[in-house]
A and B are shown apart, each in its own frame.
Chain A
């Protein structure tokens, strides 16, 4: 999810444990968090934010299966229909000899497919510039962002004060 054209009110925390406590507190107060930004993945955050498990692995399986079928059916067609050649007296359709290439193609399709999917659904890619809240988020700050149109500014301020945010700012992305 990439945030664009939104007025955002955000607080910066110094430690991921503070941020986790703050997210719990926001859930308790029924405040709707827009997004959380951090310099590294925080374990235990996803269920608190209500993020569902990524379905990337399902996509990966499908891409892999496509690779398997492409390689195996491709070789089968080539060596039985398109241009059958006898190698060392073996049958045209020599399945064991197809296994290595089938495996490699499965892995190739799965990884390329997943990586492309990952960047596409995240809105990332070469030349993409996404607005960021603060340069220190990739360094040592942990941010909780609220959509300023959905939360009362005073409520947000008091929430950040209560949960120990080091800084509170507003920014239009």
Chain B
């Protein structure tokens, strides 16, 4: 370990994994025969996809008349679903690109699956504008090419054409980024496979060898792709919002749309990542790689973007009133109290009120609650798009042409069908590819594995042992002996499980032979508190005095059990005296203290 790691940093890979364990855990789901759960889920998905395909073919055969769109409401569920899916497709690239630039290590646990989700969501999204065209066989008209029609070019001034460019670029770049990340992992799968399977993965892995120069270029490529995907991801939803903002429809032509849409997209995207990851980690037993820390980090993003969305809603309301423009005022009055009031209040509740629960750390770390919230947010964000699109169009300038819109069964079928497409692709993905980026997890192991950081860490002396075992190996030349010796870390693992009861035994075992002080000599530290401190790597007065009060408080917060009454404010001062051996001074200080607090 070259870089110093704070004892406060929470591990992102738990279970004391070795490199080989990581390979095993992450490749095995692609190697074993599909489970019953998977088969049932896959059959349901394919059936639902079949329904979607039927409804799409029905639409293409009979025309858009099979939908309940009318002259007033020209955009209904189709565009609502398009914007909803494309919004979901924003989390993947945000996680892999923006968090890569910000060097957020928790990204590595979820980026692969989130990027896959992005690609599949963009595919679902892209479907809607295509079938919305009506004559899908004319779809190539949207591309600028020297054609035989004049040549007739598309309108480059139109946001709808910008959308074509933005979404096809986004899809392509996400796909390239995702696949480039997959290549080394496919090589890992290849090197464990035999026979036909090996041939398939050899093809998929592009002949990857793991050469140092290749890795260097691979990292360079990832970084630049992340750099250019960052403005790209922001541009895509900005351009989607232009579809509305450049119109002359009250409620649509507002300059707040681009940032508001981008925040909403990230908000809904993270909610969908949560939905998927919570299911995936459970079913594929990936709890050691997608930990509660990952879930909490994503919940933090959700609460932040949820509040941005909330501010945008309220700003819109305020500006509509403040503008003094009666059509704008009416549009917002109509949203809240018109025929679609339930969609508006559903949106307000799901997107503005409910994310506030995530201000509670307990709820952020509660998995069933997070799952419930992620579904709620997905529903809320769907309502948002429906409110913006259908509700606004239903009451336009002329009361004589006011209308109401309920989707036809075909429209509902197409929307449900996109879930079939999405989950069919996702289920195939979890069968074929490692769901967590193997190489990236290995590269953060030494700074984020729980044997190195956090309450389960094995003390640094073990690393020194590790080094000396190697020296032993040099003399013998015996690979088996070296392997046995260097696996001292792995041995510790077998004695460890993630359960709380085992946690104390393992750290006690791993700290044998290290100088320890009786921390209970200090006022305010009982046996249970001492245990918590030792779990966090604080064994001596010397290390306690060098730990800040804030860090101590954080250790107590994270530890099992109730330490609410404890205040660590005096502990470093007390430990300082104890470390110096000034016991009389310590007693004098303790007299002045009140339960460990400065009186």
Q: Nearest-CB distance from B31 to chain A (Å)? A: 13
Does more than half of chain B's interface fall in helix, strand or loop, or is it mixed?
Answer: helix
Q: Nearest-CB distance from B208 to chain A (Å)? A: 6
- 6 A/B residue pairs, CB under 8 Å, sorted by A: A38-B210, A51-B216, A108-B168, A110-B228, A124-B208, A140-B20
- Whether A27 sits at the interface, judged by CB under 8 Å, is no
- Hey, what's the 0/1 contact readout for A71-88 against B, CB within 8 Å counting as 1? 000110011001101011
Tell which of B114-122, B341-349, B469-477 binds the partner: B469-477
- Whether A135 sits at the interface, judged by CB under 8 Å, is yes
Question: Taking beta carbons and an 8 Å cutoff, which residues of B are in contact with A?
Answer: 2, 18-20, 23, 144, 150-153, 155-159, 161-162, 165-166, 168-169, 172-173, 176-177, 180, 183-184, 187-188, 190-192, 202-203, 206-221, 224-225, 228-229, 231-232, 235, 239, 242, 438-440, 442-443, 466, 470-471, 473-474, 477, 479, 482-483, 486
Of A36, A79, A82, the contact of B211 (CB 8 Å cutoff): A36
Judge whether B211 and A1 touch: CB under 8 Å: yes
Sorting the interface of chain A by its residue count into under 10, 10 to 19, 20 to 34 or 35 or more gives 35 or more
Which of chain A's residues have a CB closer than 8 A to the CB of B155? 85, 87
- Whether A171 sits at the interface, judged by CB under 8 Å, is no
Judge whether B224 and A114 touch: CB under 8 Å: yes
Report the bound CA distance from A88 to B159 in whole Å.
Answer: 14
Judge whether B211 and A164 touch: CB under 8 Å: no
Q: Which residue of A lies closest to B180 (CB)?
A: A115
Judge whether A124 and B206 touch: CB under 8 Å: yes
Q: Nearest-CB distance from A43 to chain B (Å)? A: 8
Q: Which 6 residue pairs are nearest across A and B when measured between Cβ atoms?
A: A128-B207, A140-B19, A135-B191, A130-B207, A41-B215, A54-B220
Total A-B residue pairs with C-beta atoms closer than 8 Å? 211
New A-B pairs, 8, CB < 8 Å, besides A122-B217, A132-B209, A138-B187: A78-B144, A79-B153, A83-B151, A104-B166, A123-B207, A137-B191, A161-B477, A166-B479
Judge whether B153 and A118 touch: CB under 8 Å: no
Which of chain B's residues have a CB closer than 8 A to the CB of A64? 228
- Whether A66 sits at the interface, judged by CB under 8 Å, is no
Which of chain B's residues have a CB closer than 8 A to the CB of A75? 156
**Given A110-B228, A114-B221, A139-B192, A40-B172 contact (CB < 8 Å):** no
Judge whether B216 and A139 touch: CB under 8 Å: no
Report the bound CA distance from A79 to B495 in whole Å.
Answer: 72
**Given A101-B161, A110-B228, A124-B183, A139-B191 contact (CB < 8 Å):** yes
**Given A107-B173, A111-B173, A164-B482, A36-B214 contact (CB < 8 Å):** no
Of B2, B224, B439, the contact of A40 (CB 8 Å cutoff): B439
- Hey, what's the 0/1 contact readout for A140-168 against B, CB within 8 Å counting as 1? 10000000000000000000011110110
Q: Nearest-CB distance from A45 to chain B (Å)? A: 6
Judge whether A56 and B203 touch: CB under 8 Å: no
Judge whether B217 and A121 touch: CB under 8 Å: yes
Of B20, B169, B187, the contact of A107 (CB 8 Å cutoff): B169
Q: Nearest-CB distance from A154 to chain B (Å)? A: 14
